[in-house]
A and B are shown apart, each in its own frame.
Chain A
Amino acid sequence: MEFVDALTGFRVDGRRPNEVTPTFPFPTAPPRVTQSHSVLLLDFAQMRQLKGEVGVVARADGSALFEMGNTRVIAAVYGPREVQNKGQQVNSKEALVRCEYRMAEFSTGDRRRKPKGDRRSTEISLVIRQTMEASILTHLMPRSQIDIFVQVLQADGGTRSACINAATLALADAGIPMRDIVTSCSAGYLCSTPLLDLNYVEDSAGGPDVTVGILAKMDKVTLLQMDAKLPMDTFENVMELAIEGCKAIATYIRETRKINGLNMLKIASHKWITHRVKGLLVEDEWLCPVQWTGNS
């Protein structure tokens, strides 16, 4: 199958696969912004349309819906709260972060019932947990637990990336202190072309699928996964492309956070935390708690 049209250079869903060199600026075209009811829609040149919405689950402490094209996930955050199962608490000086990934029965094209907790879900739960744990300031919330639940409503490639992005937004909505925002994006290599943000058709073509997660501000990679083989120099290009995608998503998440008035100052008024936070705002109004005063 032709994944990149030889004549027009368009991808199966009509996106343009641009050549990416490290000097190539991203996004290549100015993003198109539509804003309505505090939901931002953003089109970047190579990426599918992004949509993020916070506060979608009324009773959760924080929640978000994140869409990358047809892939649609919901994340809900409960906590920080008391540790429910004391046996799981490894270190009482840090918060316990837990995660569960679940796919809706109707999320895939062909409907089949899968047992809960199959290996794929368990693996993705673990990946999301580790990625989010890297950015949550767990030492500020000792003897407590944070639950992140992600529910896939529609799967069209890149579900684990979408889940991580949704989890970031939901954590911000819950007012949980974080070092930095984590964003994730995948990239692949088909028809000798690096492609950003693979959809299901491209993902199941058998080519390599590189999923990258970064701490946007600190410019650090927290998640890196690849299946299938790829020459070293090509891998660099593909990974570079995925990182550019992550940065574009970070831009998007910052904008969504802004229009929803979310910043980490919310933690000061969080019902669970009775301590006071003295902090400073870094350039993009992301609060880095520098001093923590309280009685415990």
Chain B
Amino acid sequence: MVGLSEGEKHFIRGGISQDIRTDGRRRLQFRALSVETGVIPQANGSARVRLGATEIIASVKAELGKPSILHPDKGKISIFVDCSPTAEPTFEGRGSEELSTELSVALQRCLLGGKSGAGAAIDLSSLIVVEGKVCWDLYIDGLVVSSDGNLLDALAAAIKVALSDTGIPKVNVSLSAASDEEPEVDVSDEEFLQFDTSSVPVIVTLTKVGRRYIVDATSEEESQMSSAVSVSVNRNGQVCGLTKRGGAGLDPSVIFDMISVAKHVSEQFIAHLDSKISEAEAAAE
């Protein structure tokens, strides 16, 4: 979609090396962020996040399911991403499949913490209703409505906001049934439990253009990147996941440098996102 002339490319690269980008931002500055919660009433939690011209809608749905045999004491979370053709005409038909899968896998890596779920953003044992029998399955869906670069960071932010908006119905289990039978569950429509979302990480993608790297790249800037490193960092400054994209190789020392910059940037981003979340919650009430 991005068609740039030689002059424009030169202008973008030159701006980045001089720490003033085409939209006037500095290299480590995010675009304006806007947050809205409860946009999908049918879901247990939902959010719309806009980062410049990038717009994401995330929804969280909870369904009662059966825990896996390997982890009888844990619930399940799955993340799916769909890129709507409204964002870009090339996403039409099956055109978005590759990108959607890439984004879903990257989010799973950063938020769910491997197959065991040990490093997960959400404590999976809090999703259990009856051990080995009933648990909550969380389905997290991200929809890219409008795309102007930095989809991964926006998706992770949207999921963080949607999770903080999520209320899981309280479940009453009747214990009278025999142990081998299916327990009867009564799902309350009035009482909801909130998650502890303080440990949900954010993702900061550092896009390398020329010899410098920038945060929150627009799609024009992304078209000029040599490689990008996405780092997911939680509130405590712990790195929860890493993804490197792009063809060009990176010097290991540059990677370490990028990680420490990402950690520093994420502190401000988390604080900014938190204040936006509380603003959105106050507006919803």
Interface set of A (CB-CB < 8 Å, partner B): 56-60, 63, 70, 74-76, 78, 84, 100, 102, 104-109, 111, 113, 116-117, 147, 149-151, 153-154
A149–B87 CA distance with the chains assembled, in angstroms: 9
Known: A149-B86, A153-B57, A153-B143. 16 other contacts (CB 8 A): A56-B146, A58-B52, A59-B53, A59-B146, A59-B148, A100-B85, A102-B84, A106-B42, A109-B42, A113-B80, A116-B94, A117-B94, A149-B84, A149-B85, A151-B145, A153-B40
Q: Check B93 for interface membership: any CB of A closer than 8 A.
A: yes
Cross-chain contact A78 with B46 (CB below 8 angstroms): no
Residues of A within 8 A of B143 (CB): 104-106, 151, 153
* A100 / chain B contacts, CB cutoff of 8 Å: 85, 92-93
Say yes or no for B281: interface residue by CB 8 A criterion: no
Interface string of B51-73 (1 = CB under 8 A from A): 01101010101010000000000
Contact A104 B82 (CB under 8 A): yes
Cross-chain contact of B80 among A74, A105, A149 (Cβ < 8 A): A105
Residues of B72-117 contacting chain A, CB below 8 A: 80, 82, 84-89, 92-94, 97
Give Cα distance in the complex from A102 to B139, angstroms: 19
Cβ of B147 within 8 Å of any chain A Cβ, yes or no, is yes
**Residue contact B86 to A154, C-beta cutoff 8 Å:** no
Contacts of A151 in B (CB 8 A): 84-86, 143, 145
Q: What is the minimal beta-carbon distance from A281 to any residue of chain B, in angstroms? A: 31
Closest 4 CB pairs of A and B: A58-B53, A76-B86, A106-B59, A149-B85
Given A57-B55, A147-B92, A106-B84 contact (CB < 8 Å): no
Tell me the bound Cα distance from A285 to B204 in angstroms. 49
Residues from chain A with Cβ under 8 Å of B89 in the complex: 78, 84, 147, 149
B261 within 8 A of A: no
**Is B43 among interface residues, defined by CB-CB distance under 8 A?**
yes
Return A196 CB to nearest CB of chain B, in Å: 22
Query: Given A149-B85, A149-B86 in contact, is the A58-B148 Cβ separation under 8 Å?
Result: yes
Q: Is the CB of A106 within 8 A of B87?
A: no
Residues of chain B within 8 A (CB-CB) of A147 are 85, 89, 92
Contact with A102, one of B52, B80, B85 (Cβ below 8 angstroms): B85
Is the Cβ of A70 less than 8 Å from the Cβ of B41? yes
Question: B222 an interface residue at 8 Å Cβ cutoff?
Answer: no
Residue of B nearest to A60 (CB): B86
- Count A-B pairs with CB separation below 8 Å: 92
Whole-angstrom distance from the CB of B85 to the nearest CB of chain A? 4
Name which residue of chain A comes closest to B144, CB basis: A151
CB distance from B262 to the nearest CB of A (A): 26
The residues of B with any CB-CB pair to A shorter than 8 Å are: 39-43, 46, 52-53, 55, 57, 59, 61, 63, 80, 82, 84-89, 92-94, 97, 139, 141, 143, 145-148
CB pair A74–B42 under 8 Å, yes or no, is no
In the bound complex, CA of A154 to CA of B61 (Å): 14
Q: How far is the CA of A102 from the CA of B52 in the complex (A)?
A: 24
Which of chain A's residues have a CB closer than 8 A to the CB of B63? 111
Give Cα A153–Cα B42 distance, bound, in whole angstroms. 11
11 interchain pairs, CB-CB under 8 A: A58-B55, A63-B86, A75-B86, A104-B82, A104-B84, A105-B82, A106-B61, A106-B141, A111-B139, A151-B85, A151-B143
User: Could you tell me the distance in whole angstroms from the C-beta of A168 to the nearest C-beta in chain B?
Assistant: 16
Cα–Cα, bound, A184→B23 (Å): 41
The answer for the CA separation of A285 and B277 in the assembled complex, in Å, is 43
Nearest chain B CB to A210 CB, angstrom units: 26
A243 to B196, CA, bound (A): 51
Contacts A106-B141, A116-B94 given; indicate if A57 touches B146 (C-beta within 8 A). Answer: yes
- Complex: how many Å from CA A290 to CA B238? 66
Q: When the two chains form their complex, are residues A117 and B93 in contact, meaning their CB atoms are under 8 A apart? A: yes
B168 to nearest A CB, angstroms?
A: 15
Q: Report A119 CB to chain B, min CB distance, Å.
A: 15
Query: CB-CB < 8 A to B59: which residues of A?
Result: 104-106
Assembled-state Cα–Cα distance A116/B83 (Å): 12
Are A154 and B42 neighbours in the complex by a CB distance under 8 Å? yes
Task: Name which of B41, B53, B82, B89 has the most chain A CB atoms within 10 A of its CB.
Answer: B89
Closest Cβ of chain A to B275, distance in Å, is: 23
Minimal beta-carbon separation of B92 from chain A (angstroms) = 5
A106–B41 touching, CB < 8 Å:
no
- Chain B positions within 8 Å of A105 at CB level: 59, 80, 82, 139, 141, 143
- Once the chains bind, are B84 and A60 in contact (CB under 8 Å)? no
B55 → chain A, closest Cβ, in Å? 7
Given the complex, which residues of B lie within 8 Å of A78, measured CB to CB? 89
Interface centre among B42, B84, B86, B92 (most CB of A within 10 A): B86
